[in-house]
Amino acid sequence: MATNYTPEVEARLRADAAEVVSRYPQLRSAIMPLLHLVQSEDGFCSPRGITLVADILGLTRAQVSAVATFYSQYRRHPNGEYNVGVCTNALCAVMGGDQIWEELTDYVGVGHDQTTEDGKITLEQLECNAGCDYAPVVMVNWEFFDNQTPASAKQIVDDIRAGRDIHPTRGPEKVHTFKEISRVLAGFEDGHVDEGPAAGEASLRGLKIAREHGWSAPKAVEETK
């Protein structure tokens, strides 16, 4: 299949894809990381990327597109350099997520799944990010910004626009670009996995209380014949 990549780019992508595919006993199982690999190159699941993945895995383009259109982390049009997601699910919403979303969309000038003209920012209205203990949460390229306010969310946007590094509450020291993060999701380590804390005080409070009281998880009951 013709992909419209330059020979040099296609050769590089195929070499990376071969490494990914080697991790799976069945070719088709590699479809999701390969779609992230495409996004690391094109910034979305492009038609040429869909064609490349289909050719590598021996699938039809329709089969690959079916996966790319099902999961929200796969984009079907060019994504911004930074994906700014505001959680508006139940807890975040009542803690201020709805207000953050309303003010941020007015401030940035785009809505859900829309990108600013300079290509810097895509806004996304998110469902639960499993960070309810830090509601309301904003995620930038899937890194956590906890306990946000409209003002702090606008500051994130201002820093992105100014080209300044932005620093998540947990995880790496700074947020990397959408394409860089997509390569990590494809299965290629970037060396930043252990830079910052994975959990904070609110997440660990229950464990601390249990240890103070000497509590432990119940032992599994052995089945009797």
pLDDT band at 201 (very low <50, low <70, confident <90, very high): confident
> How many angstroms separate the Cα of 84 from the Cα of each of 112, 120, 122, 143, 150?
10, 10, 6, 10, 13
Does the pLDDT value for residue 191 go beyond 70?
yes
CA diameter of the chain: 68
Q: Are residues 102 and 56 in the same domain?
A: no
Asked, for residue 197, whether it belongs to a domain, the answer is: no
Average pLDDT over all residues of the chain: 93
**CATH number of the domain to which 88 belongs:** 3.40.30.10
Domain match, 155 and 89 both: yes
- Do 88 and 32 lie in one domain? The reply is no
Domain of residue 104, residue span = 82-176
pTM of the shown model: 0.88
Q: Are 188 and 41 in contact (CB under 8 A)?
A: no
pLDDT of 2 > 80? The answer is no
**Nearest to 86, CA basis, from 39, 129, 37:** 129
Do 19 and 54 share a domain, yes or no? yes
pLDDT value at residue 155: 98
Check whether 45 is labelled as a binding-site residue. Answer: no
Whether 106 is covered by a domain: the verdict is: yes
pLDDT digits (tens, 9 = 90+) for 6-56: 999 999 999 999 999 999 999 999 999 999 999 999 999 999 999 999 999
Q: What is the pLDDT of residue 223?
A: 59
Do 100 and 133 belong to one domain? yes
Asked whether residue 224 carries a pLDDT value surpassing 60, the answer given is no
Q: Are residues 55 and 88 in the same domain?
A: no
pLDDT at 222: 65
- How many structural domains is the chain composed of? 2
Q: What is the pLDDT of residues 116-142, one digit of tens each?
A: 999 999 999 998 988 899 999 999 999
Structure tokens at 216: 């432990």
Domain with residue 12: its CATH number is: 1.10.10
Amino acid 28: pLDDT: 94
SS3 7: helix
Ramachandran category for residue 30: left, alpha or beta (phi over 0 → left; psi -120 to 50 → alpha): alpha
Asked whether residue 92 is marked as a ligand-binding residue, the answer is: yes
Same domain, 107 and 170: yes
Is 161 in the same domain as 127? yes
| Residue 222 in domain | no
pLDDT higher at 222 or 195: 195
- Read off the pLDDT of residues 85-113 as tens digits, 9 standing for 90 and up: 999 999 999 999 999 999 999 999 999 99
Q: Is 87 known as a binding-site position?
A: yes
Q: Is residue 23 situated within a structural domain? A: yes
